Chain A
Amino acid sequence: MTTGEFESTARLTPGARRGRRRVSRALLYTFLIALLLVFALPLLWALSSSFKSRGDIFGYPPKLLPSPATLDNYRGLLDENPFWSWLLISTVVAVISTVAAVLLCALAGFAFAKYRFRGKNVLFNVMFSSLAVPFAVIVVPLFVMLAKAHLTTPYFALVVPWVAPAFGIFMMRQFAEQSIPDALLDAARVDGCTEFGLFRRVVLPLLRPALGALGVWSFLNSFNSLIWPLIVVSDPGDYTLPLGIQALFGATNRQYDLVLAGSVLAAVPSLLVFFLLRKQLLEGLTAGAVKS
């Protein structure tokens, strides 16, 4: 391979080759850093603006750093709005959804990966094809059904219909196939383990990275979701965080001061969960796509 490299750049002296490499590296880093700014700056700008007074947010010329910096937006948000109630409802709903989704998906994914049973392929395809059912298709009838059954409380309507995503089952199956040796399962069975005990004591610990990935994914999905809560939740006392911010934006005549403070606070749990479990999430998400 050294000869190959030598031949392809044979006309360049070693020094010139190094120089060319350095230039292309510099270009590469410039490109990546420019992109980094494109992705990060808007968020930092919002963070900075949340400490500006209402008049300064759209002040001209725009100032990168707030001066004078003020906590008024945060105070106004927390004192005059049920921010903590929004946050609590969002968090509780997201945590329940996440725990339930992770368990149900792991169970089903394990079954699809490690058992042979009649109808498995058909059942798997049925499950998988549900990924292609658009949300907009079931939204109207589902809302009608829940409203008729008086089940539009956030803890039911925001949790139960979404608690076993096909995507999660697929992901768990991929992971279980790769990381759970059959021999281990058989050994545990010989030791008298029941099938559910097997799941609890052998499978769950082995699936831990995938559980983390699916956990973040479903927490973020639930915590950030806006459209479905917007449709289902009508009582302001039941508002989730995104709903609360959206309502506040409307109620203050589309003024940015309070909602920016709210946005910053709302982004904190999402980013925290993401950063803590980033590795699992990114690897887990791509595991299904890159499977050889």
Chain B
Amino acid sequence: MTAPPPTRAPVRASLPAHAPAKAASPRTSWWMRRQRAVAPYLFISPFYLLYGLFLLVPILVGLYLSCTEWAGLGTPKWVGLRNYQDLLGDHSFWTAVSNTGLYVVFTMAVVMPAALLIAQALNARGLRGRDLFRLAYFMPVVISPIVITLVFGLFFDNEFGLLNAVGHAVFGFGGIDWLGSPGWARVTVVILVLWRWTGYLTIFFLAGLQNVPKELYEAADIDGAGPISRFRNVTLPCLRPVTAFVAVTVLVSSVQIFEEPYLLTQGGPGESTLSVAQFIFRAGFQRQQLGYAAAAGVLLFVAVFALGQLAMRVLGVGRDDR
């Protein structure tokens, strides 16, 4: 459809009356002729420059560091694969892995369906105040995590928090040690995850629902389908692309979960809420075991990559993309 570039050259040469007289120097005309071929490379080059410097190089440095023992001073000491070996035998690491697994399963099995449910409710025909609800639910993501966790502190403080106070007033007991007992601390972290991310995921499902052709629902009505069968046979299949997108995003980001447990409980009590990302942070920046931290980072990378690929295969993300 597009006309071949050469035909345009004469037009262009006659046009720039205001251009400097030397505009037709060999270099400029080369540029004029070639710019359309070169421009895309120039336009994407800043990204690849940054990509190389701040992503590729760190990954390579990380791979190297993961085979060394280093506290940050002097030269790293080469230890081969010992860090990996140590990691596999490190009880803390496995605790972090299983906690992270819990967070991932929770986000996939609870947060995502909850978001879908809310989106479904928001998609009701003729609903008033839809934008207001949508905005309010989205708000937690907009606010700094440090602020969010402080707010949660007000609610979950074991002695004076609002939840225990209300529990005390209403039910006569309020002694739940929300942040101090291993089981409850995990529950609290998970509640924070639910509160912070549900509204965010909701807008994706809602956008997907609004894209479902109305005729399909009408057809289902004609066939006498009830709400449940309508949801199963019309809504879910139409939502597949969005669900796949959300699922992959959620999977990849929840494997890396850090802020919620770190800010709320510092991974404690003990290590009961420690996540893999915080394990890396702790090894690298609190215990100065930079090589060890890098090795854990490499393992996390492998896990995220493998899970991401697996999810993309299973869910068929990008299959209908060009």
Chain A interface residues (CB < 8 Å from chain B): 1, 3-5, 7-8, 28, 31-32, 35-36, 38-40, 42-43, 45-46, 49, 57-58, 60-62, 104-105, 107-108, 110-112, 115, 117, 120, 123, 126-127, 130-145, 160-164, 166, 169, 182, 186, 189-192, 194-196, 199, 220, 223-224, 226-227, 231, 241-242, 245-246, 249, 256, 259-260, 263, 266-267, 270-271, 274-275, 278, 282-283, 285-286, 288-292
Report how far A67 CA is from B54 CA in the complex, Å: 52
Number of A-B residue pairs at CB separation under 8 A: 288
B101-109, B182-190, B275-283 - interface stretch: B275-283
Q: Least Cβ distance of B37 to chain A in Å?
A: 7
B161 within 8 A of A: yes
Assembled-state Cα–Cα distance A278/B72 (Å): 44
A residues in contact with B276, CB < 8 Å: 136
Q: Which residues of A contact B180 (CB under 8 A)?
A: none
27 contacts between A and B (CB under 8 A): A28-B124, A43-B143, A46-B154, A49-B154, A60-B160, A111-B39, A111-B40, A115-B40, A123-B44, A127-B47, A138-B55, A141-B65, A142-B54, A142-B58, A164-B47, A182-B1, A189-B8, A192-B11, A192-B15, A196-B39, A199-B43, A260-B154, A267-B143, A270-B144, A271-B142, A285-B204, A286-B203
Taking Cβ atoms with an 8 Å cutoff, the residues of B that contact A are 1-3, 8, 11-12, 15-16, 35-37, 39-41, 43-44, 46-48, 50-51, 53-55, 57-59, 61-62, 65, 72, 118, 121-122, 124, 127, 129, 132-140, 142-147, 150-155, 157, 159-162, 165-166, 168-169, 195, 199, 203-204, 206-208, 211, 218, 221-222, 224, 241-242, 245-246, 252, 255-256, 258-259, 262-263, 276-277, 280-281, 284-285, 290, 293-294, 297-298, 300-301, 304-305, 308, 321
A4-B224, A133-B59 known, 4 other contacts, Cβ within 8 Å:
A108-B46, A138-B54, A259-B150, A282-B203
Q: Are A164 and B51 touching (Cβ within 8 A)?
A: yes
Interface pair A289/B207, CB less than 8 Å apart: yes
Most buried by A among B48, B139, B142, B301: B142
Main secondary structure of the interface of A (DSSP, over half): helix
A276 to B12 CA separation, bound complex (whole angstroms): 42
Please, how many angstroms separate the alpha-carbon atoms of A131 and B308 in the complex? 10
Contacts of A141 in B (CB 8 A): 57-59, 61-62, 65, 294, 297
Tell whether, in the assembled complex, residue B293 and residue A140 are in contact, meaning their CB atoms are under 8 Å apart: yes
Do A140 and B297 touch across chains, with their CB atoms under 8 A apart?
Answer: yes
Contact A226 B259 (CB under 8 A): yes
Given contacts A43-B143, A191-B15, contact A256 B55 (CB under 8 A): no
Q: Are A7 and B58 in contact (CB under 8 A)?
A: no
Q: Which residues from A are CB-within-8-Å of B154?
A: 42, 45-46, 49, 57-58, 256, 260
User: CB distance A227 to B136 under 8 Å?
Assistant: no
Whether A8 lies near B221 (C-beta < 8 A) is yes
- Taking a contact as CB atoms closer than 8 A, the residue among A1, A138, A192, A260 that contacts B16 in the complex is A192
